[in-house]
């Protein structure tokens, strides 16, 4: 089947990179290549783009790009430093991260990301490695399940859901998305208007199974270390947990700390390694009308300064 992917904040994100034609850039989440193809269109003959993705389907799509300036890494973006070093890249001009799950992953019921379909409860972005959501639920403790659903899904009924999962698996394994969604619906009695009772649980399991927050926390300092002065870091987040990590990292790296009670002038304090660029950017009305999934997207941008880390 062919699944349509509408790249969120396509032009805004690429514009935020302030691309130099001979620069070296990283697309940390290739997806179906919307951002990568636009970045390549801005590069000259000496430019270079290295993209990353866990998803074998994304890697297959990347194989259709025959541009010699482009290369793809079948791995999560947390492998940034090691993968670039293996390719002889020691400094870059920009990094773009489009976080979360892609439309093809959600719309392909067989991937097990969505409760809209009845399919094996997989949820892995990289289907070639690691346990599925069903496998993890079959062996995890009730406390671990509750903590994951609470911490990654911000679900107030996490304890009740975990208890129901453990009770059900004592009778038979929970192997499909519909089984899990029905189980959760029986526990979560109230929910925000328009939101399925299973939304937060599915989000939590997806984030946990794919180590999304851990990998985000790992790549940000790597990106900062590799960026050249003037290089840009642009990150599109889709929910509060990941956006909080990005926001705090950028703000901390852009903060100029003055020594407490010491006779030092501000001009003598070294500048911070990052400079925040503009205000956070959200999708406009036209994009939201065309792609409702863009409604939660928020783009933050920061620029590397001349300061040493």
Q: Which residue has tokens 């892995």?
A: 124
Q: Is 144 annotated as a binding residue?
A: no
Distance CA 62, CA 51 (A): 9
Distance CA 222, CA 227 (A): 9
CA atoms within 13 A on the CB side of 240: 5
Q: Is 126 annotated as a binding residue?
A: no
Q: Is 98 annotated as a binding residue?
A: yes
CA atoms within 13 A on the CB side of 3: 17
Nearest Cα residue to 187 out of 149, 215, 157: 157
Q: At what angle do helices 177-185 and 199-209 cross, to 10 degrees?
A: 130
Distance CA 103, CA 105 (A): 5
Nearest Cα residue to 5 out of 106, 150, 118: 106
**What H or E segment, with its residue span, contains residue 298?**
strand 298-304
Q: Is 112 annotated as a binding residue?
A: no
Q: Is 53 annotated as a binding residue?
A: yes
Cα–chain center distance at 303: 20
Q: Is 122 annotated as a binding residue?
A: no
Q: Which residue has tokens 């208007």?
A: 193
Residues annotated within a binding site: 33-35, 53, 77, 98, 105
Question: Residues comprising the binding site for S-adenosyl-L-methionine?
Answer: 33-35, 53, 77, 98, 105
């Amino acid at each position: 089947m062919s699944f349509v992917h509408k790249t969120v904040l396509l032009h805004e994100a690429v514009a935020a990179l302030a691309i130099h034609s001979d620069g070296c850039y990283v697309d940390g989440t290739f997806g179906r290549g919307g951002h990568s193809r636009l970045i390549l269109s801005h590069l000259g003959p000496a430019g270079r783009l290295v993209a990353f993705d866990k998803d074998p389907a994304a890697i297959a799509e990347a194989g259709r790009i025959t541009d010699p300036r482009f290369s793809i890494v079948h791995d999560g973006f947390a492998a940034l430093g090691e993968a670039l070093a293996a390719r002889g890249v020691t400094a870059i001009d920009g990094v773009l991260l489009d976080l979360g799950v892609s439309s093809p992953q959600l719309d392909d019921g067989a991937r097990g990301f969505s409760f809209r379909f009845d399919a094996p409860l997989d949820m892995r972005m990289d289907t070639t490695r690691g346990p599925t959501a069903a496998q993890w639920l079959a062996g995890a403790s009730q406390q671990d399940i509750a903590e994951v659903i609470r911490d990654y899904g911000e679900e107030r009924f996490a304890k009740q859901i975990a208890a129901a999962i453990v009770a059900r698996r004592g009778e038979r394994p929970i192997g499909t998305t519909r089984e899990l969604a029905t189980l959760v619906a029986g526990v979560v009695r109230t929910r925000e208007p328009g939101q399925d009772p299973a939304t937060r649980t599915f989000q939590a399991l997806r984030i946990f199974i794919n180590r999304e927050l851990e990998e985000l926390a790992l790549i940000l300092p790597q990106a900062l270390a590799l960026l050249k002065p003037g290089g840009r870091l642009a990150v599109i987040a889709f929910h509060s947990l990941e956006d909080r990590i990005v926001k705090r990292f950028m703000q901390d790296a852009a903060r100029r700390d003055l020594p407490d009670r010491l006779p030092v002038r501000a001009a003598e304090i070294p500048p911070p390694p990052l400079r925040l660029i503009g205000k956070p950017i959200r999708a406009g009305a036209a994009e939201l009308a065309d792609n409702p999934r863009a409604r939660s997207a928020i783009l933050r941008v920061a620029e590397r300064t001349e300061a040493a880390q």
